[in-house]
Amino acid sequence: MLSRFWRWVSHDVGIDLGTANTLVYVRGKGIVINEPSVVAINQRTKQILAIGDEARRMVGRTPAHIVAIRPLVDGVVSDFEVTEQMLKYFIGRVHAERFRLFSRPRVVIGIPYGVTEVERRAVEEAATNAGAREVYLIEEPVAAAIGVRLPIQEPGGSFIVDIGGGTTEVAVISLGGIVASRSLRVAGDELNEDIKSFARDELKLLIGDRMAEDIKIQIGSALPYTAKPESVPIRGRDLISGLPRELLVSDEQVRQALERSVQQIVSAIKETIEETPPELVADIMVRGITLAGGGALLRGLDRLVQRETGTTIHVAEDPLTAVVRGTGVVLEDLDTLRSVLVQSAFDGLGS
């Protein structure tokens, strides 16, 4: 009877709590929120002024006492209270048309593979304090694999590479469990930092995060992708004169800036293959490797990984939403897929 009441007043939700973006899946509805994991705070009053898209628009455009922060670093909670408020905001958005004060949803949250018990507990506590009645955790590579419909519960190898904002998760999965893996804190944010460092060191230009990300999206690549070189404007502050300055940066320059981090991702993939049992390697040669996450959209990355591993590479359809779609699949069939969930850091919670 009580469970029927909760189902009536609450929407069960799946959350991809990412370093760069938070996505929310509502059971029976699909993905309803996709916003930056950014919170704007007044440091004088400690008041939260904005969350998500509105907060991101404030980045670099506010007085000194108003700061826009990311409460997650490398996929784990770095600011517990702000993460709790962000989760409360997103869960509240989902329940705006229902009895918001009584809403106590079940929540499935994706977390990086290999996080510590303390880090798991922080996520569970934040979600519980934000209004969840039950919290279930799932490792992001497993969620991504489920989201792209890989047959992970079969006795065969499924290879997933999830390149998010803060972490790259590489995993071989069989019978619902991870057989070999790498969790690398080199991903989309690090690529942005590479472009910022290149602009500072080579062009003597100081640029912000948004400019670096825009350049990465426009002409970033792992291998040449056009016969004719491309270039885009890069704007920032000249480190010598201190004045605003605009230059043109080429795709070749950006590719050189990204090369070190891209090679680290490729090395993690190759090392995971080396650790994989031969029988599963044979399966992977047939099924290929699937790239998911925003980093999968980097031009030429699939061709580079294929060249380096000799294995067919598939880029997931809508790779940015793979993890949250996986949490949604688990939500829709929680009893059947309960075995893929992470053991709760608390007795009586999770699975």
- Taking only the tens place, the pLDDT of each residue in 178-210 is 999 999 999 999 999 999 999 999 999 999 888
User: Is the pLDDT at 6 greater than 70, yes or no?
Assistant: no
User: Boundaries of CATH 3.90.640.10 in the chain?
Assistant: 188-257
Residues in the chain, total: 351
Q: Check residue 350 and give its pLDDT.
A: 43
Give the lowest-confidence range in 120-129, 167-176, 279-288.
120-129
Give the three-class secondary structure for 36: strand
Is the dihedral angle over the CA atoms 256, 260, 261, 266 positive or is it negative?
Answer: positive
Number of neighbours of residue 21 by Cβ within 10 angstroms: 22
User: At CA 249, angle to CA 247 and CA 252, rounded to 5?
Assistant: 160
Contacts of 290 (CB under 8 A, 6+ apart): 145, 148, 150, 158, 159, 160, 161, 313, 314, 315, 316
Q: Which residue has the higher pLDDT, 346 or 262?
A: 262
- Residue whose tokens read 């497993």: 142
- CB contact at 8 A, 145 and 158: yes
pLDDT higher than 60, residue 337: yes
pLDDT at 335 (0 to 100): 82
**Options 3.30.420.40, 3.40.1030.10, 1.10.10.10, 3.40.50.300; which CATH number does 2-34+79-143+322-340 get?**
3.30.420.40
Distance of CA 61 to the CA centre of its chain: 25
CATH domain 150-186+263-319 topology: Nucleotidyltransferase; domain 5 (3.30.420)
Confidence of residue 1 (pLDDT cuts 50, 70, 90): very low
Task: Label residue 46 by pLDDT band (50, 70, 90).
Answer: confident
Please, where in the chain does CATH 3.30.420.40 lie?
2-34+79-143+322-340, 150-186+263-319
Beta strands in the chain (DSSP E): 13-17, 21-26, 30-36, 39-42, 47-51, 66-69, 72-73, 76-77, 106-111, 134-139, 158-163, 168-174, 177-184, 205-206, 231-238, 244-250, 289-292, 313-315
pTM above 0.85, yes or no: yes
| 16-29 confidence digits (pLDDT tens) | 988 889 999 998 88
- Give the least confident one: 107-121, 245-259, 267-281, 310-324: 107-121
Q: Which two tokens stand for residue 316?
A: 């997931």
Token output for 215:
């350049």
CATH of 188-257, one of 3.90.640.10, 3.50.50.60, 3.40.50.720, 3.30.470.20: 3.90.640.10
The backbone region for 314, taken as left when phi is positive above 0, alpha when psi lies in -120 to 50, beta otherwise, is beta
pLDDT 10s digits, 144-191: 999 999 999 999 999 999 999 989 999 999 998 999 999 999 999 999
Q: What is the pLDDT of residue 150?
A: 93
Please give the pLDDT value at position 287. Answer: 94
Residue matched to tokens 């049992």 = 277
CB 282 within 8 A of CB 200: no
pLDDT over threshold 50, residue 5: no
